């Protein structure tokens, strides 16, 4: 059996390799483990709560309909940081393809967290498709606006926590020359650094990055992670470093910042305004594809 379902989670195993699997918590439809040939690819805090009492600290939490804490929109600003998708229990819709094994989860207003739909009363239909390749993991999202008269305004982001060996000798490449919003400095500027290196808290939104720029996490000249995007214009790169980790109760161990970097493909530097009856689609594909040198502006 390549799919195991319990009340709380779904485990999908690759038919050609029992050591390649993905585990998804129904709460948040959060992928919290992805093993490629036995090797875990995602970082998960040892203090992460998997009981549905708070969003998972690690894996791939889903951010919708707002990234961060909005302060401008009268409705979206009522929602907590990163919205309601990661705090809602999604419905497991079953398998849609045998190989690569593919499954879907759904969320809409009627089953989403009622505390939050009270604050943001929009109608929406989300379908998350998870495809487990022998050497990749694709997570794709469809957002449908079921209204016949009003627009749906939202952000989307895959908050992907990648597992790494050591942040101090890890680089993130192919984001040079982008307009960035640095959330630590609270400044917007063009980042001319040829690669991203980490010496402290890093919380930066790289804006309007062409999909054909493949973002790579590189260590000792080898790609540790390769992140491809479909219709996701922005990339957030986040590492909380020492002080910020201390302030997060569920971030464990406190030295865990050394072993993770978030590369978060999303549409967050502006809002998507989806017309009535329309569907918006996007995806991220994680792999270890060979290093690809790209022109630096
Ligand atoms: C990142 C944000 O996407 O998520 C950071 O850019 C934020 O500012 C981080 O601290 C974690 O957010 P949370 O709500 O999961 O603690």
Task: Report ipTM for this prediction.
Answer: 0.98
Percentage of the chain modeled with pLDDT above 90: 95
Decide if 140 contacts 128 (C-beta within 8 A): yes
Residues 6+ apart with CB under 8 A from 206: 175, 178, 179, 180, 191, 234, 235, 236, 237
Statement: residue 1 has pLDDT above 70: no
The CA angle 259-37-31, to the nearest 5 degrees, is 60
Write phi, then psi, for 194 (nearest 5 degrees).
-65, -30
For ligand 1, residues with CB inside 6 Å are 81-82, 159, 183, 203, 236, 238, 264
Answer yes or no: is 213 a known binding residue.
no
Query: Is 202 annotated in the active site?
Result: no
Of all protein residues, whose CA lies closest to atom 16 belonging to ligand 1? 248
Query: Is 144 annotated in the active site?
Result: no
pLDDT of residue 250: 98
| Ligand 1 atom, smallest distance to 63 CA | 3
Q: Quick count: other Cβ atoms within 10 Å of Cβ 53? A: 8
Mean pLDDT of the chain: 96
pLDDT of residue 221: 86
Of 159, 181, 202, 225, the catalytic one is 159
pTM over 0.90: yes
Distance 5 CA to ligand 1 centre (A): 30
Statement: residue 272 has pLDDT above 50: yes
Decide if 53 contacts 27 (C-beta within 8 A): no
Q: Quick count: other Cβ atoms within 10 Å of Cβ 129? A: 18
Of 14, 144, 181, 264, the catalytic one is 264
Q: Is 94 left (phi over 0), alpha (psi -120 to 50) or beta?
A: left
| Ligand 1 atom, smallest distance to 82 CA | 14
Answer yes or no: is 104 a known binding residue.
no
- Which pLDDT band, with edges at 50, 70 and 90, does 245 fall under? very high
Residues 6+ apart with CB under 8 A from 66: 73, 76, 79, 82, 83, 154, 155
User: Span 263-269, mean pLDDT?
Assistant: 98
User: Span 196-214, mean pLDDT?
Assistant: 96
Of all protein residues, whose CA lies closest to atom 1 belonging to ligand 1? 238
pLDDT of residue 297: 43
Answer yes or no: is 197 a known binding residue.
no
Give the span between the Cα atoms of 52 and 41, in whole angstroms.
23
Distance 39 CA to ligand 1 centre (A): 26
For domain 3-287, give the fold. Answer: Beta-galactosidase; Chain A, domain 5 (2.70.98)
Distance 134 CA to ligand 1 centre (A): 30
Write phi, then psi, for 154 (nearest 5 degrees).
-160, 160
Distance 277 CA to ligand 1 centre (A): 31
């Amino acid at each position: 059996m390549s799919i195991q379902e319990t009340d709380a989670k779904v485990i999908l195993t690759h038919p050609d390799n029992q050591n390649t699997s993905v585990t998804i918590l129904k709460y948040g439809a959060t992928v919290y483990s992805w093993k490629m040939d036995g090797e875990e690819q995602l970082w998960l805090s040892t203090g992460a709560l998997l009981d549905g009492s708070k969003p998972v600290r690690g894996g791939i939490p889903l951010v919708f309909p707002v990234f961060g804490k909005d302060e401008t929109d009268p409705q979206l600003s009522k929602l907590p940081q990163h919205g309601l998708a990661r705090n809602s229990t999604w419905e497991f819709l079953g398998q849609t393809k045998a190989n690569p094994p593919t499954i879907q989860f759904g969320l809409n207003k009627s089953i989403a967290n009622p505390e939050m739909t009270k604050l943001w009363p929009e109608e929406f239909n989300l379908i998350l498709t998870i495809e487990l390749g022998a050497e990749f993991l694709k997570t794709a999202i469809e957002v449908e606006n079921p209204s016949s008269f009003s627009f749906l305004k939202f952000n989307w982001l895959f908050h992907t926590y990648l597992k790494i060996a050591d942040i101090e000798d890890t680089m993130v490449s192919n984001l040079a020359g982008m307009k960035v919003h640095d959330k630590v400095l609270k400044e917007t500027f063009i980042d001319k650094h040829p690669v991203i290196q980490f010496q402290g808290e890093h919380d930066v939104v790289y804006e309007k990055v062409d999909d054909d720029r493949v973002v790579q996490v590189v260590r000792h000249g080898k790609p540790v992670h390769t992140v491809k995007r479909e219709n996701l214009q922005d990339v957030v790169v986040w590492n909380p470093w020492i002080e910020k980790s201390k302030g997060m109760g569920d971030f464990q161990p406190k030295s865990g910042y050394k072993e993770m970097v978030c590369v978060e493909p999303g549409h967050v530097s502006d809002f998507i305004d989806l017309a009535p009856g329309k569907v918006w689609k996007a995806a991220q594909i994680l792999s270890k594809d060979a290093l690809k040198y790209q022109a630096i502006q």
